[in-house]
Structure 1
Amino acid sequence: MTDFDTVVMTRRSVRQYLPTPVPEDVLTKVLNAAQQTPSNCNTQPWQVHILSGDVKDAFSKTITTAFDAGQDTMDFSFAVADYDTDAQARARAQGAAYYQALGIAREDFDERRDAVRRNLSFFGAPHVALLFAPSVGDNVRVAADLGMYAQTFLLSLTANGLAGVPQTMLGSYAEQARTLLGLPEGMKLLFGISFGYPDTDAPAAQYRIDRIPASKSVFYHSSLTSA
């Protein structure tokens, strides 16, 4: 078993995969580990739909058509412009590093659009997990539970020689996903994770993004000052 620190430090959001399917026993091991995720009051609200083969291809075709027609059906809003300036700068840096790794010039808008569309074919991954949960209240708590599940799932993939990439963009096609899978309207799609064996020779699987130091995000509080 790989030690925890190694798993955390080597996990990457890989954007190019080999077509090799993940064996059933390996996938079962990954999912059993992910099922140990904590949740609010042990509600375990996640419903994970894993698409492979013809179903995955059908979903890709459907959402690519929707993307080209501008038909988003998001259950949860997302816009980088809603973040503060520091977060926006980090998002821009990530995008710049990705396009640079692919050799796409800043002014080449057609190539950039094609790169965005690769989200909709799951970067060549043989599997994609769509993370749903029932609508509960303002949905903040269930979304947090899905986030914790996703991180456990991603780390479990890494520990088993696999890779995954969380894709907010897949959450833009919630209604299309529900229709394909026969799910009720009340089951909300947060995002998807494409996963499989990484194509380690591809530029899209090699680029790296640094994290800000923990000191920028963590604040210690140990005593109260007297009035």
Structure 2
Amino acid sequence: MLSFEDTVRLRHSPRAFLSTPLTDEQIHEVLQDAQLAPSNCNTQPWHVHIASGDTKRALTEAMLRNDELGQVTPDFSFDYADFYGDYFARSQEQAKQYYDVLGIAREDKDSRHQALLRNYAFFGAPHVAFLFMPSFGDNVRVAGDIGMYGQNFLLSLTARGYAGIPQTLLGFHADSVREILGVSDQYRLLFGISFGYEDPDARANQLRMDRIPLEQSVVFHK
């Protein structure tokens, strides 16, 4: 496997995958790595469902139907209007670079929407992991634990030669996902991770987003 230094620098969010599935053994190895994530008071609050094959296709159909009807059922709020300052600017720059790579003009709203719908087909990935969580208090610490689990999952994929992309949009259809996967209402859906083998020839996978300098995000006290 790759070193940590190589893994963390090679990890990115591909938006096109090969149809080749991972074996059950390969998926279990990744899950074992993810399971080692830290959590508040060792609660280990992650409740993970992996969908492939016919189940994944049923999820795609349900989410596309919801989109057509304009129906969303997120467990947690999300609104670009809540972003401000540099945070909003970074989100807009990411969108601009992504659509530029795809060759989609800003005014071409139909093509942009079609590109968005590829989220619901999991960008062609053969597998998707849905990360559910119980509700404790204001959920901030629980969501933080799920984030650390998700990062372990993503880094394990990269280290083993696979790839994955975390997708907030999948959480917009929590009711449909719970129904299809048979998940209790006591669990809230935070996000999903589509994963498999990256398609190295896809235009979408040429995108690499930069990171701000440390001086803009870290303050040293001595």
Band of TM-score, shorter chain: over 0.9
Could you list the per-position Cα deviations for residues 155-200 of structure 1 after superposition, in whole angstroms to 9, with x for gaps in the alignment? 0000010111110000000111111112221110000000100001
SS at match of 2:132: strand
Q: Is 2:114 aligned against 1:114?
A: yes
The TM-score with structure 1 as length reference comes to 0.96
SS at match of 2:129: strand
Partner in structure 1 of residue 187 of structure 2: 187
Please, which moves more after superposition, 21-30 or 57-66?
21-30
Partner in structure 2 of residue 221 of structure 1: 221
After TM superposition, the structure 1 = structure 2 runs for residues 95-134 of structure 1, keeping only pairs within 5 Å, are 95-134=95-134
Query: How far apart, in 1, do the equivalents of 2:198 and 2:2 lie?
Result: 18
One-letter amino acid matched to 2:156: S
Quote the offset at 1:28 in angstroms. 1.2
Displaced runs of 4+ in structure 1, greater than 3 A? Answer: none
Query: How far apart, in 1, do the equivalents of 2:7 and 2:220 lie?
Result: 26
Partner in structure 2 of residue 200 of structure 1: 200
Query: How far apart, in 1, do the equivalents of 2:119 and 2:136 lie?
Result: 28
- The unaligned stretches of length 5 or more in structure 1 are 223-227
Partner in structure 2 of residue 161 of structure 1: 161
Please, which moves more after superposition, 48-57 or 173-182?
173-182
Partner in structure 1 of residue 84 of structure 2: 84
One-letter amino acid matched to 2:57: D
Partner in structure 2 of residue 21 of structure 1: 21
Quote the offset at 1:80 in angstroms. 2.0
Quote the offset at 1:78 in angstroms. 1.0
Quote the offset at 1:72 in angstroms. 0.5
Query: How far apart, in 2, do the equivalents of 1:197 and 1:17 lie?
Result: 6
After TM superposition, the structure 1 = structure 2 runs for residues 59-70 of structure 1, keeping only pairs within 5 Å, are 59-70=59-70
Quote the offset at 1:30 in angstroms. 0.8
Please, which moves more after superposition, 58-67 or 213-222?
213-222
- The unaligned stretches of length 5 or more in structure 2 are none
One-letter amino acid matched to 1:128: V
Partner in structure 1 of residue 8 of structure 2: 8
Partner in structure 2 of residue 170 of structure 1: 170
Query: How far apart, in 2, do the equivalents of 1:163 and 1:81 lie?
Result: 30
Quote the offset at 1:84 in angstroms. 1.9
Could you list the per-position Cα deviations for residues 105-147 of structure 1 after superposition, in whole angstroms to 9, with x for gaps in the alignment? 1111100000011101000000000000111111111111100
The TM-score with structure 2 as length reference comes to 0.98
Partner in structure 2 of residue 225 of structure 1: none
Query: How far apart, in 2, do the equivalents of 1:80 and 1:145 lie?
Result: 24
One-letter amino acid matched to 2:65: T
One-letter amino acid matched to 2:68: D
